Amino acid sequence: MADQENPVFQIQRVYLKDLSLEQPNSPAILLEQEQPNVDIQLGVEATPVADGIFEVAVTATVQTKIKDKTVFLVEAKQAGIFEIRNLPEDQMGAIMGIACPQIVYPYLRGNVADIVNRAGFPPVHLAEINFQAMYEQQQAAAAGQIAQ
């Protein structure tokens, strides 16, 4: 009788995969006194890289506008490489949709705040995210689509 191999969950690397900043209406927009509207979109994606190795990326798009003019647009993708082995298949989605993004997200928050600050604006601090709730909503939405 063969022993069940021990589960493995290791962070191999966390890195900034992509980062862009645009200020298309500078310098004129910088003279505006009106408070800008801020729109923040977040996403999570997981990609197998090799056997037992996965890249999990969290993306953020932060767009600030005054009326219909963009003040600045930041698009960032923070990623991590994780070794995940010997876990039951039904746990893999939760690991890659909850545990991995929780590890990567603080780095993304810091990088977004830093680039916005370096662009000459007060830093935008992305809110804490409940990745478990986000994952459960995605699962419920996917189940709803399958049921239709």
How many distinct structural domains can be found in the chain? 1
Q: 9-44 pLDDT, tens per residue?
A: 999 999 999 999 999 999 999 898 899 999 999 999
- In a domain? residue 87: yes
- In a domain? residue 128: yes
- We report the CATH number of the domain holding residue 22 as 3.10.420.10
CA distance 76 to 100: 17
CA angle 113/115/117 to nearest 5° reads: 65
pTM of the model: 0.87
- In a domain? residue 138: yes
Question: Which three-class secondary structure state does DSSP give residue 127?
Answer: coil
CA distance 11 to 13: 6
Q: 91-143 pLDDT, tens per residue?
A: 999 999 999 999 999 999 999 999 999 999 988 899 999 999 989 988 888 88
- In a domain? residue 28: yes
